[in-house]
Amino acid sequence: MSVPLICIAALALLCIGLGFAVSTARGKSNTLFSSPNDPQDTLYQLVRAHGNTAEYVPIIALLLFILSTSEQAPWVLWCMIAATASRYIIVAGLVFPQSMAKPNPLRFIGAMGTYLAGFGLCFALFIQAINS
């Protein structure tokens, strides 16, 4: 079992799934471009969740892929899992509440988890680069 590849697949699924959800919401609301600027609007929430995911997933997936090319310490694998889970948590915090107008614990946990796990992955890559 390859933890990095499973995480990459899960991240890709999240990004592509959100893209599909945005397209579906656009079809239902007959909105071909742009989106309402209303934090309570489902389309707005989905667009922001997809945009945020599209900003972070590529670099996280790249880090995971590069790190997968050599044996990693258990803490690195846990960072991979944490980064992936954090992306799902932040999406839940953006999409499930009735409004994005107020911060919520899921968004905070998802963001902090992304930052901490992301920094851990960067550190692991530095270690890998120095030791190679």
DSSP string, 85-131: HHHHHHHHHHHSSS-SSS--HHHHHHHHHHHHHHHHHHHHHHHHHHH
Predicted pLDDT of residue 36: 78
DSSP assigned state of 35: -
In this structure, the number of other CB atoms found within 10 A of the CB of residue 96 comes to: 11
What is the number of domains present in the chain? Answer: 1
What CATH number is associated with residue 73? 1.20.120.550
Checking 127-130 for CB contacts under 8 A at 24+ apart, the result is 128/66, 128/67, 128/70
Predicted pLDDT of residue 35: 74
Q: What are phi and psi of 19, to 5 degrees?
A: -60, -45
pTM > 0.75: yes or no = yes
Domain coverage including residue 91: 3-131
Per-residue pLDDT of the chain (132 residues; tens, 9 = 90+): 899 999 999 999 999 999 999 999 999 988 877 777 889 999 999 999 999 999 999 999 999 999 999 999 999 999 999 999 999 999 999 999 999 899 999 999 999 999 999 999 999 999 999 998
Predicted pLDDT of residue 109: 98
DSSP assigned state of 69: T
